[in-house]
A and B are shown apart, each in its own frame.
Chain A
Amino acid sequence: MSLQHYLVISAILFTLGIFAVLTRRNAISILMGIELILNSCNLNFAAFSRFVTPPENIDGQIIAIFGIVLAAAEAAVFLAIILAIYREFGSIRPNEVDTLKG
């Protein structure tokens, strides 16, 4: 297995995440796309840490762990906002939430 194998998997995951964010009309599906993007990012950190830096150096893995923590915090706040929006608008379709639209 070479570095490029992991980079290709990560690129595919990132692209699929972008595709979900662009095309989905449901806030929770968009959250799933964002999770895919964050996963591809963490996979890149771990792969570069394994192959590019010397093997004793595991800084990339630690950055990936911090990335997981940030993803957890982000998901909690995201779902709290979704719940508040659902209570206010009765829907979580992003194009129906348009109070700020001029």
Chain B
Amino acid sequence: MEFTLKTFIFYGFALLTVASALVVVTVRNIVHAAFSLMVTLFGVAGLYVFLQADFLAATQVIVYVGGILVLILFGVMMTSGRLEMRLHIERGQLLLGGVISAALLMLLLTIIANTPKWKNLSDDGEQLEPTTRRIGELILNGQFLLPFEVVSVLLLVALIGAALISRKEVRD
């Protein structure tokens, strides 16, 4: 693979994603972790652009960065006093969790490297059409209509359930 500007930007995004995810799981201050998570989510959106999934990248930015991250920050503000902002980590648990995670990573990398079906699948740089139109057709007029309706009901249920669980209890 020749080293072009495109590969340079790809590795930049990959490095950004992995490094900020590492910060998310290691930093002590929970607000810093939340902002680092924002960088990770943006990095993943950039990788979606490289996969030519434009609609997916836009959805990632809107829903994750605009929605879930704000929700997480509100959660931090409403539940953490000044003392709880700094995370407390136990050394033994850190060691055990690190060993388990490292073993899992080794397993996954071995599988990825040794599956013959997945080798030599690379994009030859051809440009695909924008996906938004086809996604709209498939969801609203195609085989994904039923899942779309089901997921809309699920969102409504989650919304009502979240409001019901988190409100103050009224005793009568």
Contacts and interface: CB of A to CB of B under 8 A. Distances in A.
A26 B63 contact: no
Contacts of A19: 25, 97-98, 101
Interface in A1-32: 1-9, 11-20, 22-26, 28-29, 31-32
Contact of A32 (B24, B63, B126, B161): B24
A87 B79 CA distance: 9
A7 B104 CA distance: 14
Interface residues of B, number: 84
B155 to A, nearest CB: 6
Nearest to B150: A66
Interface residues of A, number: 69
Interface of B: 1, 7, 10, 14, 17-18, 21-22, 24-25, 30, 33-34, 37, 40-41, 44, 47-48, 50-53, 55-56, 59-60, 63-64, 67-68, 71-72, 74-76, 78-80, 84, 87-90, 93-94, 96-98, 100-102, 104-105, 108-109, 112-113, 118-123, 126, 128, 131, 134-135, 138-139, 144, 147, 151, 154-155, 158-159, 161-163, 165-166, 168
Interface of A: 1-9, 11-20, 22-26, 28-29, 31-33, 35-36, 39, 42-43, 46-47, 49-52, 55, 58-59, 61-62, 64-66, 68-77, 79-84, 86-87, 91-93
